[in-house]
């Protein structure tokens, strides 16, 4: 019965993803038919579909999947249902690292953007972990409270830096989120990041699932809590780092999507990985569509919609 329910859920979510992908491709300042992608006439509309809308839709889909997976992992590893990379300062750390790197003179090429973002996410995550650790181990309440305070502090530093250096418009996408100017090279890096975190998650899904128990129980069932948390942290910072590098500081998805999936299909982490990925990708496609159509020709920031 559970297998049948999960199969139907994944099928429905896949159909929703395909529908929103086509809708996202069609929508914008002007609405175009997706059929332009395979027509032979080389019109301006066809160029827009291939060079602007297609990489943008692919990037939105992958970022949504990455953020949903990182939120699911963070909630499981911290045993806290309101844990999320954006709430706990991981996204803000990646954003600040990118801004500092730019101010310091680094050219924000795709490669530099990725490694700066991942380093920033890692440092932020380590700080939050230190704040949450007690002699008895990780305190979930301190994890959330410390992370929330630290996230606000980091975000404040990022906004202050943008004002002091007069780079607010330059870092607009980083500060408020957005997929404008996304290209296929960024999509390829995102695809590599998604492949890495998926492989790590699938190979370690049993250990991640056992982390819903306390450390003693998890050990008795064959898990290694310390190693599992370290691997989970790697997945989280890669997911958040790659996402912020392309889409900026986007919130809610890592918090809301796992909660929705848990409500629709309350089951273990390993069985809910695919539904989380599909719904996260679908939700980001919808939000991006609203961002570029609600106030066209002006594009709304993702932070205002997610």
pTM to 2 decimal places: 0.91
**Residue 262, pLDDT above cutoff 70:** yes
- What tokens does 146 get? 């410390």
Number of H helices, E strands in the chain: 13, 2
What pLDDT score was predicted for residue 167?
A: 78
Q: Which residue has the higher pLDDT, 274 or 125?
A: 274
What pLDDT score was predicted for residue 139?
A: 73
**Residue 2, pLDDT above cutoff 70:** no
Average pLDDT over the chain reads: 86
Measured between alpha carbons, how far is 173 from 189 in angstroms, rounded to an integer?
Answer: 18
CB 277 within 8 A of CB 69: yes
For the chain, the farthest-separated pair of C-alpha atoms sits apart, in whole angstroms, at 68
**Residue 294, pLDDT above cutoff 80:** yes
Measured between alpha carbons, how far is 252 from 19 in angstroms, rounded to an integer?
Answer: 22
**Residue 216, pLDDT above cutoff 90:** no
Q: What is the mean pLDDT of residues 218-233?
A: 84
**Helix, strand, coil tally for the chain in percent (to 5):** 75, 0, 25
Rounded to 5 degrees, φ, ψ at 39 are -80, 150
């Amino acid at each position: 019965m559970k297998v049948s329910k999960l199969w139907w859920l994944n099928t429905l979510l896949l159909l929703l993803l395909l529908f929103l992908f086509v809708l996202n491709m069609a929508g914008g300042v002007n609405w175009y038919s997706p059929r332009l992608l395979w027509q032979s006439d080389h019109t301006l509309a066809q160029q827009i579909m291939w060079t602007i809308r297609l990489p943008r839709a692919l990037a939105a889909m992958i970022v949504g999947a990455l953020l949903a997976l990182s939120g699911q992992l963070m909630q499981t590893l911290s045993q806290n249902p309101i844990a999320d990379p954006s709430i706990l300062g991981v996204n803000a750390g990646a954003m600040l690292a990118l801004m500092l790197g730019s101010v310091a003179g680094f050219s924000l090429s795709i490669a530099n953007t990725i490694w700066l973002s991942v380093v920033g996410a890692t440092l932020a995550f380590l700080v939050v972990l230190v704040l949450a650790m007690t002699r008895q181990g990780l305190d979930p309440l301190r994890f959330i409270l410390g992370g929330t305070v630290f996230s606000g502090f980091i975000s404040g530093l990022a906004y202050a830096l943008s004002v002091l250096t007069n780079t607010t418009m330059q870092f607009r996408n980083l500060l408020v989120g957005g997929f404008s100017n996304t290209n296929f090279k960024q999509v390829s890096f995102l695809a590599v990041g998604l492949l890495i975190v998926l492989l790590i998650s699938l190979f370690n899904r049993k250990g991640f699932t056992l982390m819903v128990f306390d450390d003693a129980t998890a050990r008795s069932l064959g898990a290694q809590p310390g190693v599992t948390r370290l691997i989970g942290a790697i997945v989280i910072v890669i997911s958040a780092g790659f996402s912020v590098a392309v889409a900026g500081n986007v919130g809610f998805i890592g918090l809301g999507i796992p909660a929705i999936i848990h409500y629709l299909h309350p089951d273990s982490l390993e069985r809910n990985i695919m539904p989380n990925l599909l719904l996260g990708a679908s939700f980001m496609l919808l939000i991006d569509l609203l961002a570029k159509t609600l106030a066209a020709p002006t594009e709304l920031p993702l932070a205002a919609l997610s």
